[in-house]
Structure 1
């Protein structure tokens, strides 16, 4: 992972954003970084309707919300330096604007199966250049980070973050490779699906080679590499049932458009019960940033 200068969190005084703030404050403390708390206020009326006195009131409400977030951050992690940023406009655009130089971005999430298609928790991971952590309400359950391995560059970046988080928090890593997905396989791998034994042998070697460098860099982290003869989505869903954090690349080897999340990443954000981190491959984005 490329290291940044702060941890960025979106806060709007909801329960979801309070959970995100708690995760982000702890993350900043563990990493020894400042915490940047961002609130985006929005003018609730059509653009053509301007009432400057009313607009000033809406902005002041935003300032009070941000004050509350800063106070909460001080209570959670009193030794962490806090930075405040009040902006107007959609939350995902505001966070994108503040994301330059961030180590990672943290946002809250609605309950399972209630994530709207246009929500920040889906839009931001699809657009951001930095890792995005979408925090769910579950507390620490097993001390396990599950990470999806698929042989892609983003998958390797996910491994880097998973081992780093595990070392910071004293957790263990379970690297999961769901190898049964013929529709997304590389052309040279298609023939393997006619011979399951050979498929498992090739994919086990690929998994072990992907995990080995991170084991070496983080020798104190307990790590397991699990090959599962199921589609990646099902393999990760099952592993997430008892995990504290699932880390995945934003897209795998299927060659999707640059701003799109992969189907597996999207499904995890929408349906798994634990916190999810979405990581981009180094150098993946070259032009786009708000």
Structure 2
């Protein structure tokens, strides 16, 4: 049985999955957690020779990681399951799950992006989907939207008149994704840019409203080292603006409405598009309902 709250990475030998391992290793080191590297073999491939080759591949990977991340506890494992099922299962005891967007397709690997999308849909922890190109010094970008956008996979912000007295930082609809975004920006020592999506096209490129500004101030108070800026963007321009932002970002964080069980299809149109077309890693974080 593996240690709870490990950082988990899926690996199949591809460049995208190697980027996932590097991202996960840095996160595990910074968080003081073990790194569990998972390689999956399909049931039809569950043969001694295949398992031996997979084990050798993970051993070689660990030999490379050990001097790069001294003191990091590594847990390489080969599972005879489909990649999606195995990684979704691993997410139950993971602090973070990191997978490459596209793999080699060998050893039951993460190919064509289908597995990474399924994992992002159904995992029980935040999922970071990486690509080969990494920008460790790039800013963290997080997106939020007005109430009612959750059905489209956009993190909700309740309008000021409807806000409960608990305060913006305590709203379950925003806390999880904002917490993850600020924690990652703090860990990576980079700036954070938050886009408030609005249905009003006239508000595009304006400063965020009072509620959203208060939200940023609340979280910046918890992470004072993080330089945070906010901007309002028209929802109709969201895809273009966010994809442009990912060309310079180190991470894009997207909140999605959860099912409450870590299961079920929860990615809407916007996060699905960002996941498939972003130029930087994308973190999918389930928000509380």
TM-score normalized with structure 2 length: 0.77
Long gaps (5+) in structure 2? 104-109, 147-155, 157-171
Distance in 2, matches of 1:25 and 1:64, equals 19
How far has the Cα of 1:148 moved from its partner? 0.6
Equivalence for 1:177: 196
Query: Is 1:42 matched up with 2:30?
Result: no
For structure 1, the residue ranges without an aligned partner over 5 or more in a row are: 46-53, 181-192, 285-290
1:220 maps onto 2:234 in alignment: no
Measured in 2, the distance between the counterparts of 1:106 and 1:12 equals 13
Distance 1:261 1:137 in 2: 23
- Counterpart of 2:98? 106
- Kindly state the Cα deviation for residue 238 of structure 1 after the two structures are TM-superposed: 2.6
Q: Residues of 1 paired with 2:5 and 2:235: CA distance?
A: 39
CA RMSD between the two structures: 2.7
Q: How does 1:160-175 map to 2 (within 5 A)?
A: 160-175=179-194
Q: 2:78 aligns with which of 51, 75, 86?
A: 86
Partner of 1:144 in structure 2? 139
- 1:123 aligns to what? 118
Shift, 1:233, TM fit = 2.5
Aligned residues: 250
CA distance, structure 1, for counterparts of residue 93 and residue 111 of structure 2: 28
Checking the alignment, whether the CA contact within 8 Å between 2:58 and 2:76 is kept in structure 1 is yes
2:275 matches 1:269:
yes
Q: Give me the whole-angstrom Cα distance separating, in 2, the residues matched to 1:13 and 1:154.
A: 37
Deviations 1:27-65 (A, max 9, x none): 1111111111111112447xxxxxxxx822222222222
Distance 1:22 1:243, change over 3 A: same
Task: Using structure 1 for the length normalisation, give the TM-score.
Answer: 0.77
Deviations 1:157-181 (A, max 9, x none): 221111101111110100011213x
The DSSP-based 3-state class of the residue aligned with 2:209 is helix
**Deviation at 1:150?**
1.8
Native 8 Å contact 1:178 1:236 kept in 2: no
Cα deviation 1:102-138 (Å, max 9, x = unaligned): 1100011239xxx977622111010001000011222
Query: How far, CA to CA, are the matches of 1:5 and 1:264 in structure 2?
Result: 29
